[in-house]
Amino acid sequence: MPTQKIVLSGQILHRFRLNRVRDRAQRQYDAIVTASPWMAHLRSKLERTMNANASARSKLGQLERIADEIAAAIAPHSSCEKGCSACCNISVALSEHEAQRLGERIGIRPASPPPGQDQADFERLYFRSACPFMHDRQCSIYEHRPIACRLHFTLDADAYFCQTTLDPADSAVPNVDLSEFWFAYAYLGIQLGSTIGDIRQFFPAGTTPPAPPSKGEP
């Protein structure tokens, strides 16, 4: 007897995907740790950086290098690929000092974000809002992109949960738990007295001239 094809749509499809994504993400994480065992001990790596006899600015640079190491470990196990710009249409939070580093690299002086906002505000305000550095669905500052962009991955089989056509509450993009990294990042921000803002606040549309994608963009 032939197998009956099943069609899932709307909320039924979403619930089906949601039920399956956790198991797949766990398998991908296990593969990441098998290939890069140090990822299971990320906290120790971060503690060494934070306890080092160095300035907070220097530690921020070291965190960026650790972020690149984390990204290199996750990327082979992620379905992220060139041409998918879904994550360029959500909030990208960064500290004032990271924005200054970025501005120095791309030759644009960052603006000052308004006070009194937090990441929850950014997520609400900038969901489905294009990043000012996205041109033709590609990042024009890829080599210098913020740490939040470097560490944004999906461990799902495709970009289903990345779609901004979903409501924010339904967007359950599975990634490695990097809360310890972000705690260190936030702590450095406090030490530096950094304001947190969204990339669109630091670099408003119109201040970012189009540029060709940097070499090496995936």
Q: In this structure, are residues 85 and 137 in contact, taking their beta carbons and an 8 Å threshold?
A: yes
For residue range 120-174, what is the model confidence (pLDDT) as tens digits?
A: 788 888 899 999 999 888 899 999 999 999 999 999 999 888 888 888 777 778 9
Q: How far is CA 14 from CA 4, 25, 67, 168, 175, in A?
A: 21, 16, 31, 13, 18
| Residue where the block lists tokens 């070291």 | 62
Give domain status of residue 198, yes or no: yes
Q: Does some domain include residue 86?
A: yes
Range of the domain at 35: 10-202
CA atoms within 13 A on the CB side of 149: 28
Could you read off the pLDDT of 55-89 as tens digits, one per residue? Answer: 998 999 999 999 999 999 999 999 998 888 889 99
Read off the pLDDT band of 34 (50, 70, 90).
very high
Long-range contacts of 108-114 (CB under 8 A, 24+ apart): 108/203, 108/207, 108/208, 110/202, 110/203, 111/201, 111/202, 111/203, 111/204, 111/207, 112/195, 113/195, 113/196, 113/197, 113/198, 113/201, 113/202, 114/201
Amino acid identity of residue 102, one-letter, is: L
pTM: 0.85
95 bridge partner residues? 196
Note whether residue 4 is domain-resident. no
Q: Is residue 217, in this structure, part of any structural domain at all? A: no
Q: How far apart are CA 9 and CA 48, in angstroms?
A: 49
For all residues of the chain together, what is the average pLDDT?
86
Judge whether 214 lies within some domain. no
Q: Are 85 and 134 in contact (CB under 8 A)?
A: yes
Evaluate whether residue 137 is within a structural domain: yes
Say if 70 falls within a structural domain.
yes
Residue 208 belongs to a domain: no
- CA 186, 190, 194, 195 dihedral sign is positive
Structurally, the chain folds into a number of domains equal to 1
